Structure 1
């Protein structure tokens, strides 16, 4: 039987901002509870950046083969940029994903429809959703705490 590979999540900056702490916590929690998710993280080739519209903080996550680093601010050339408030991010983290993130079944619920409506009205922005769909869905699967 194969054992799950360890995938480490850590903050790059000595004093991570509030948004970096939130995302680091979600990622650590999810990889501890579902170690197979490291495969999803390894499949994200470029940074993902999240900008909190209410706290005005920006965080970038760079995924490597064996770890992910969470940075304060914009890093590299992200393929996906999410612009949302912290409550909106918390809402997205409740979306249930199947098939390693490629099957967003949680978007067919009442909560999911609210999120899709916010995306359509540009209250929640996911740049790269159409051009880097797999990366965007993989990121949602990584931060999703829904089982």
Structure 2
């Protein structure tokens, strides 16, 4: 505990490890939102740094248009697929699953592919994974 603990606006605090609570008979209690020290500590902790994404961290994306090239009204009623030549705005993102930013693009890993279509009926999201290599297949073949 520091003897010079202050909040962000400079208000001095006696302790930096306590919170204001409404105590009940069993020893527990409810934390109050008027406890500016606790709210500031939680806000600082959650906003301290922006962590890197755990999976699919390394990616590339592009905006473009999805264009219908074949008649498919017999199998769907989606409005963005109802006419040949109809174009719909889209966003595509291609990523690797495991490696962090700065790693090689040539390693064998699962790759992700996501597409967001901005249709008249609302946004449509498609997400795919390409598993080019299987981790259990060598075990099954070699019998380890």
TM-score between the two structures when normalised by the length of structure 1: 0.21
Normalized per residue, which structure has more strand? 2
Higher relative contact order (CA 8 A, sep 6+): 1
Q: Which has the larger radius of gyration?
A: 2
Normalized per residue, which structure has more helix? 1
